[in-house]
């Protein structure tokens, strides 16, 4: 389903975690005495493909526009606009030659950056995101 179609229908409110991502997050939360915190994920304009992902540990209460999801015992906060771009995504944890890190597998992405931190979608022009910058994400040497 195109993002434009989701504007007029119910958004599939789902972002899930792989087993490995959930293990890594639980470990990180415990090590930092933030066992009750949530994972905040978002999309913003920028990066070499037009949109970029963000993730952070959030120990505050959810904001008014947040969707509060839960997977494998971890709460996930995502604002409504970002969820339109990320619906159906899976957050993975991958190990590569540069070390380990989180990566988002997004079924809505029509193109993505070499490092996976920037992407494009069919309908980039939703109100609220500036997607024309394409200034490079800095993570993979593109831009």
Tens digit of pLDDT per residue, the chain (143 long)?
A: 444 444 434 445 689 999 999 999 999 999 999 999 999 999 887 766 678 889 999 999 999 999 999 999 999 999 999 998 889 999 999 887 777 889 888 887 776 665 555 566 665 445 555 555 444 445 554 44
CB 56 within 8 A of CB 91: no
**pTM over 0.85, yes/no:** no
Q: Which of 42, 53, 37, 34 is nearest to 101 (CA)?
A: 53
Host domain of residue 91: 3-121
118-121 vs 74-79, strand pairing mode: unpaired
Residue 135 structure tokens: 């200034």
CATH number, domain with residue 50: 2.60.300.12
Residue 128 included in any domain? no
Q: Which of 118, 122, 117 is nearest to 133 (CA)?
A: 118
Cα gap 143→101, rounded to integer Å: 21
What is the tally of structural domains in the chain?
1
């Amino acid at each position: 389903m195109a993002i434009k179609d989701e504007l007029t229908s119910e958004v599939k409110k789902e972002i899930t975690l792989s087993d490995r991502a959930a293990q890594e997050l639980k470990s990180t939360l415990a090590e930092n005495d933030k066992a009750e915190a949530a994972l905040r994920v978002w999309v913003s304009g920028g990066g070499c493909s037009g949109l970029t992902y963000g993730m952070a540990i959030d120990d505050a209460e959810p904001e008014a526009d947040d969707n509060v999801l839960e997977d494998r015992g971890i709460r996930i906060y995502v604002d409504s606009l970002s969820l339109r771009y990320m619906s159906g995504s899976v957050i993975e944890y991958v190990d590569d030659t540069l070390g380990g890190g989180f990566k988002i597998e997004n079924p809505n992405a029509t193109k993505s950056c070499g490092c996976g931190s920037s992407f494009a979608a069919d309908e980039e022009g939703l109100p609220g995101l500036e997607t024309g910058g394409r200034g490079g994400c800095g993570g993979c040497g593109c831009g």
